[in-house]
Amino acid sequence: MIPRFTRLPAVAVALAAATLANAQSDPAHYPAQASFPHENRAAVARHLAQAKQLAGADLDDAFNWRCFISPLDKRIVAGVQHDGLVPPTRVFDNLYSIGQNAVSAWAIDTSAGIIVIDTLNNADEARDILVPNMRSLGLDPARIRTVLLTHGHGDHWGGAKYLQDTFGARVATSEQDWAMIESPDHGGGPFAHLVPPRRDQVLKDGDVVTLGNTSVKAYVTPGHTPGTLSLIFPVSDHGKRHMAGLMGGTGGGRDSVSAHEQIASLARWQAITRAAGVDVLVTNHPVHMNATEKEAMIRYLPDAPNPFIYGVEKYQRYMGVMSACSRVQLARLGESGD
C-alpha cells in the first residue's frame, strides 16, 4: 500500500520541475553571445579570412577557440575550462604536466632540482592537486627550487606562496606583474583574497634562469598582462632534443590597448622563437591547444609521435593565428586591426 502523504511531495516536485523548465526554456532568458555594436565588419571579415588561412586544417581548433569561442561565449568557456581533475602526464623526458583542467602547471626536471611553471588557483590546489600530481609521477616536491609565474593573474600564481613556504622554492616573474600581484586587490576579480608570495626574483627581458643542466630563457611579452612572461626551454622526447616555447599570454588581450600590445608581442615572439628553433608548443591553459586530449594520447600511445611537437613552421602559424584573431577583436571594437 502507498502511504497517502507521498502524493503531496510528488505534486510539489512536479510543480517545481515545471517552473524550472519554463524558466530554462524561455528564450528571453537565454544567454546571448557578446555583441559589438561598433564592429568594423569589413575588417573583421578580412582578418578572419587571414586567420582561417593560417590555421589550415591542422590548427582549426585553435582558430575557433581564439577567434570565436573565447571572445564571444563565456558559457562555453566556463564549461570547457571548468575546474576539474585530469591525470598528470609525463609529456617529455624532462617535462611533466601537473595542473588541472582549467589551468596548467608544468614541472621541468633538471639535474639540480625542479622548476615549476605556474601554480594553479590557490594554496588548496597547490597542496591537493599540484603536489600529489608530482608525487604520482615520481617527482619529489622537496626538490622544487624555482617557481616561474607566466603572469599576474591569480589562476597562475595563487599556489605560489604555498610552494614557497612549504618547499623553500624561489618565486620569479617580471617587475610589471610582481606589481600586479602585490597591488591591494592582487590584480582584481576573484583573486583579491589571495595571499601573494614574497618577491624572490625579478626577471627582465632576455634573462636566463639556470638550474643544473637546464636553462630557461625568459622574455617580457606584454598584452595579456603588462609584464606577461614567455619562456623557451629544451625538452627531450625519447632522448631527442627539441625546443619548447611557452607564450605566457595566449589568453589574448582584453581591450584595444592590450590587443595592440599583444599583436606587437606576438610579432616579436615569432621572431625570437623562429631564431631559437622552437618546435614544441606548450601553453598555460590546456584548452589553448587541447593539451588534455594530447596528454591522454601520450599516456595510451607513448610510442606514437608526440602531439606537442608541432615543428617550427606550424609553431609559427599557431602564433600567427593568435595574432590574426587579436586583429579580429580590434575590428570588432571598430578599428581597422592593421
User: Considering beta carbons, is residue 186 or 242 the nearer one to Zn ion?
Assistant: 186
Binding mask 112-151 for Zn ion (x = CB under 5 A): ----------------------------------------
- What's the min distance (Å) between Cβ of 153 and Zn ion? 3
The only residue of 158, 197, 234, 251 in contact with Zn ion, by rule CB under 5 A: 251
Stretch that binds Zn ion, among 152-160, 170-178, 299-307, 319-327 (CB under 5 A): 152-160
Stretch that binds Zn ion, among 52-60, 247-255, 288-296, 313-321 (CB under 5 A): 247-255
- What's the min distance (Å) between Cβ of 225 and Zn ion? 7
- What's the min distance (Å) between Cβ of 257 and Zn ion? 16
Pairwise CA distance, residues 83 & 337, whole Å: 34
- What's the min distance (Å) between Cβ of 248 and Zn ion? 8
- Helices 312-332 and 256-275, axial angle in degrees (round to 10): 170
Grid cell for residue 133 = 600530481
The only residue of 66, 153, 327, 332 in contact with Zn ion, by rule CB under 5 A: 153
- What's the min distance (Å) between Cβ of 331 and Zn ion? 23
Task: Give the residue closest to Zn ion by C-beta.
Answer: 153
User: Considering beta carbons, is residue 12 or 78 the nearer one to Zn ion?
Assistant: 78
Count the residues of the shown chain that bind Zn ion, applying the rule CB under 5 A: 2
Stretch that binds Zn ion, among 53-61, 113-121, 214-222, 248-256 (CB under 5 A): 248-256
Stretch that binds Zn ion, among 96-104, 111-119, 244-252, 327-335 (CB under 5 A): 244-252
User: Considering beta carbons, is residue 59 or 247 the nearer one to Zn ion?
Assistant: 247
* Residues at the site binding Zn ion, with contacts judged by CB under 5 A: 153, 251
